Amino acid sequence: MTPVLSVRNLFRIFGTACSRCFDGNDEICGNKCPWCGAIVACKNISFDLYPEEVLGIVGESGSGKSTLLKILYFEEEPTSGEMFIHLTKRNACFPGEAFMGSVDAANVLSLNSYQKRLFRNHYMGMVYQNPFLGLRMHISAGGNIAEKLFMAGFRNIAKIRERAIYLLEKTEVPGNRLDESPASFSGGMQQRVQIAKALSNVPMLLFLDEPTTGLDLSVQARVLDLIKSLQKEMRLATIVVSHDLGIIRHLTTRTMVMKDGEIVEAGLTDQVLEDPQHPFTQLLVCSTL
Amino acid sequence: MTANYNYAFIDESTKKEIRRKILKAIAIPGYQVPFGSRELPIARGWGTGGLQITLSIIGEQDTFKVIDQGSDDSVNAVNIRKFIAQTTSVRFTTDTAQATLIQTRHRIPEEKLNEGQVLILQVPIPEPLRLIEHSETGTRRMHAEADYSGMWLYLYENIIRYGETTIGAGYPVMVNGRHMMSPSPIPRWDVPKLNMAEALFLFGAGREKRIYAIPPHTRVVPIEFEDFPFRAEDFRGHECASCKSTDTFLNEIVDSGSGMKKWFCSDSSFCEKRQMQKRQDV
C-alpha cells in the first residue's frame, strides 16, 4: 500500500546548529547538543502514515512530539528533512490544482508559504489541546467553522451555515448554538467545535494534539468516541499526539514512542504497550496509574 | 509662482522616487508600495500622500481639479488648490470633464472619467486588513499568501449579527483577483466606478507611507457572498434639492432655520452643471 504521508530525516533544531547536531551521536544525552548548546527538538524523524490509519505519538513533555505535529501542519519550519504526500482524493474546489499537479512527487516542505496554505486549507485538519489556539473565542461557532470554509473557497452563506449546522450536530453540539461564541461554551463543547472546524473541509489528514487533555473523564470518553466514529466514517488518516497511554490504546493502531526528539520505538499499539522493548517505553508503561 | 521653490515644491530626486513607486504600484494592481513620505507644509493625515503624488506627476500641460468629499470649495480642497497655485503654473478647473488630474478626498466624481484622466485619492488607512489584524508583519504575510479568510469572516459575522455589513466607507475590494485593497474612504456608491474604468486611479497615504494603484481596465470586485450581494447606499425616495437629480450620491443636510432635512448632491460641480443645463433647457 502507498502511504498517504511519508516523512524522511526530519530535523528541528532551535538555536544555531552545528554539524554535530545532525549526527545523531549517542554522546548527546537529552536534547541539548553539548558542543553548540542548540536544542534538537526533532532528531532524524522518519515514518509513514497509511490511508485510513490512526498513528499515535507518545512521549513525555519536551520530547518533541508537538513540534513534529506543528511541522507536519506547516506551522513550524523544519531545519532539514522531507515530507511527501500522496493524494488519495482530489478536492474538487482546490484552486491550486494546476500548479500542485505534481505534488505527489514533491517535498511539500519546500513549497512556498502560499502553496502550503492552500494545501493545508484543502487537505489538512488540526485539533489543538487548547481550544484557544484553534478557535476564535469571540466569533460565533458558525463563524469559526465558516473560516475554514472561506479558506477553501466557499462563498455562499446559506450553504456554509447548512454545513456548519451539519458538522455541529455531527459533533453533538446543538445546531441552535451556531451563532453563539465558543467563549460561552463548556470546555468539552469548545473541543467539539474545534473538531467540527477541523473536519469542515473534509480533510485527508487529521492531526490531533492532545485532543482530550484538560477535559474531565466522562467528557473525555465521549470526545474520544466521537473522534473514533468520525475517523471511521470519513476514513481519515490521523495522527494523535498524546502522553496518555489510555487514549493511545483506545484510538490508535500503530504507535511511535518519542524521547528527546527521537523515535525510540515504533510498532503496533498493542505490541508496544504489552511488550515494550525500549527502557523508556517500559518506564512509560509501568508508570500508568 | 514663487521662485524660491522648485517647480511643484518637492525636489526632482524625490519626484523621481515617487514616480518610480507609482510605476511599481501600477505594475502590481492593488499592492501597497512603501515610499519615503516627505515633509510638506501640510501636516500628515491631511492629504499629504495624495499631494505628493500630485506634485510628482503634475506638469505645465495639466488641468487640475481638487475636491474634498465631492466639493470644490471645502477647506482641504481650497488649501491644496492654493498650494498648487503657488508652486506651479497649471490651469485649474472645477469641471470634471476638463481636468486631466483630479486630487480627491473620499469621493469619485459622478461624471464618468475617461482615458487619459488620472484620479488621485487621499488615503488615511491603506491597509484593508487593519480591521482584523493589528500587526503590519501579520497583514503583509496575509497579502503574500492571499489569506483573506479573516476579512470574509468579518463580513460573515456582520451579516449574521446585524443582517447587513457595518463597513460604510472604504469597502474592501479584490483587485485583479489577487490583492485585497482599501479603496480609501469613498462611499460604497463609488466602488463600482473602479471596475474596468478608463481612467488611472492612484492612491497615496502620506502618514502610512504607501502608494497603490488601479490601472485602467482592471477588474475590481467588492467582497460579497453569492447569496448576499454588495449593495451601494440607497437614496430611493430622495432627490437633490438643487438640481433634482435622483441618480447621484446625496448628502443629508438639516436646515438650521426650519429644522427640515434636505438632500443635496455631494458632487458640487456636477450639481451646478445639471442646474445650468436645466436653465438652458428652460
SS3 content of chain A, % helix, strand, coil (to 5): 40, 20, 40
Whether B110 is covered by a domain: the verdict is yes
**Residue pair B76/B124 in contact by the 8 Å Cβ criterion:** no
Considering the domain architecture, whether residues B95 and B210 belong to the same structural domain is answered as: yes
Q: In what order do the strands lie in the sheet with B179-181?
A: B179-181, B173-175, B220-222
A45-55 pLDDT, tens digit each: 999 999 989 99
Whether B227 is covered by a domain: the verdict is no
Q: Which residues of B touch A164 (CB under 8 A)?
A: none
Inter-chain CB proximity B144 and A139 less than 8 Å? no
Q: Which residues of A touch B161 (CB under 8 A)?
A: 179
Inter-chain CB proximity B153 and A146 less than 8 Å? yes
Q: Which residues of B touch A (CB under 8 A)?
A: 141, 144-150, 152-153, 156-157, 159-161, 225-228
Considering the domain architecture, whether residues B183 and B252 belong to the same structural domain is answered as: no
Number of domains in chain B: 2
**Who wins on pLDDT, A57 or A214?**
A57
Instruction: Look up the ipTM and state it.
Output: 0.82
Whether B230 is covered by a domain: the verdict is no
A122-174 pLDDT, tens digit each: 889 999 989 999 999 989 999 999 998 898 788 999 999 999 999 999 888 99
Whether A156 and chain B come into contact, CB under 8 Å, resolves to yes
**Who wins on pLDDT, A234 or B99?**
B99
A257-273 pLDDT, tens digit each: 999 888 999 999 999 99
**pLDDT band at A201, cuts 50/70/90?**
confident
CATH code at position B164? 3.40.50.11310
pLDDT tops 70 at residue A193: yes
Which residue from A35, A85, A77, A33 is spatially nearest to A261, judged by alpha carbons? A33
Buried-exposed string B125-134: b where 16+ CB fall within 10 A, e elsewhere: ebbbbeeebe
**pLDDT band at B281, cuts 50/70/90?**
confident
Which residue from B258, B224, B4 is spatially nearest to A150, judged by alpha carbons? B224
Express as a percent the part of chain B with pLDDT over 90. 90
Considering the domain architecture, whether residues B55 and B126 belong to the same structural domain is answered as: yes
CA of B222, closest CA in chain A: separation in Å? 13
Whether B229 is covered by a domain: the verdict is no
Domain boundaries, position B190: 2-222
Whether B243 is covered by a domain: the verdict is yes
Considering the domain architecture, whether residues B142 and B274 belong to the same structural domain is answered as: no
Considering the domain architecture, whether residues B147 and B38 belong to the same structural domain is answered as: yes
Inter-chain CB proximity A156 and B226 less than 8 Å? yes
Considering the domain architecture, whether residues B23 and B116 belong to the same structural domain is answered as: yes
B44-102 pLDDT, tens digit each: 988 999 999 999 999 999 999 999 999 999 999 999 999 999 999 999 999 999 999 99
**Who wins on pLDDT, A202 or A23?**
A202
**pLDDT band at A93, cuts 50/70/90?**
very low
Considering the domain architecture, whether residues B206 and B102 belong to the same structural domain is answered as: yes
Cβ neighbors of B82 (< 8 A, separation 6 or more) are none
B201-252 pLDDT, tens digit each: 999 999 999 999 999 999 999 999 999 999 999 999 999 999 999 999 999 9
Considering the domain architecture, whether residues B267 and B214 belong to the same structural domain is answered as: no
B95-112 pLDDT, tens digit each: 999 999 999 999 999 999
| pLDDT given for residue B202 in this prediction | 98
Whether B175 is covered by a domain: the verdict is yes
| pLDDT given for residue A92 in this prediction | 44
Cut 0.90: pTM above it: no
Residue where a domain stops, chosen among B222, B245, B270: B222
For cell 515610499, name the residue.
B35
Considering the domain architecture, whether residues B272 and B159 belong to the same structural domain is answered as: no
The residue-averaged pLDDT of B152-167 equals 92
Whether B51 is covered by a domain: the verdict is yes
pLDDT tops 60 at residue A240: yes
List helix spans (H) across chain B: 12-27, 48-57, 75-87, 136-144, 149-162, 268-281
Whether B75 is covered by a domain: the verdict is yes
Considering the domain architecture, whether residues B171 and B128 belong to the same structural domain is answered as: yes
Largest Cα–Cα distance in chain B? 60
Considering the domain architecture, whether residues B30 and B147 belong to the same structural domain is answered as: yes
Considering the domain architecture, whether residues B84 and B218 belong to the same structural domain is answered as: yes
